[in-house]
Amino acid sequence: MVYDVCHNIAKFETLEVDGRPQRLCVHRKGATRAYPPHHPQTPAPYRHVGQPVLIPGDMGRYSYVLVGTELAYRETFGSTCHGAGRRMSRHKAKKAARGRDLMREMERHGVVVMAAGMRTVAEEMPEAYKDVAEVVDVVERAGISRKVARLRPLGVIKG
């Protein structure tokens, strides 16, 4: 199954503000949509459980599937985070990767990497990102999203 979820976009949506539906331009930067169960804009196959939310981790550890909640709809315009966030700038990551064979390291973890070049792999190395499990735990404890599954990477394509 392929499921495409937009993030870092602005989109017109109808949301409740002060108990009334209003047409708003919602800009999600560092966020993705997380509509609750039974929301009419959630794709029909998932409407009974809520908007599927894909939270990528890094290319060496794991990612998560979550679903949106009523609280997210009320408190965050139906939004949640869309990833772990960087711990290191791209420049710092490339510098830290010098002398390492990241492709072989990923291979040892069972992850196949296809990339346009080593610079793009270096800037995305696992240590460049926060641990997504910690981020997902925070949004779940806050009631913004609910965990469904943890995924292990098998392949990475970086252009």
* 38 is known as an active-site residue: no
* Best CA proximity match to 124, nearest among 86, 155, 98, 152: 86
* Residue position matching structure tokens 């609750």: 36
Helices (H), the chain: 70-75, 90-97, 102-108, 118-123, 132-141
Please tell me which residue in 7, 39, 82, 91 is annotated as part of the active site. Answer: 82
Residues involved in catalysis: 82
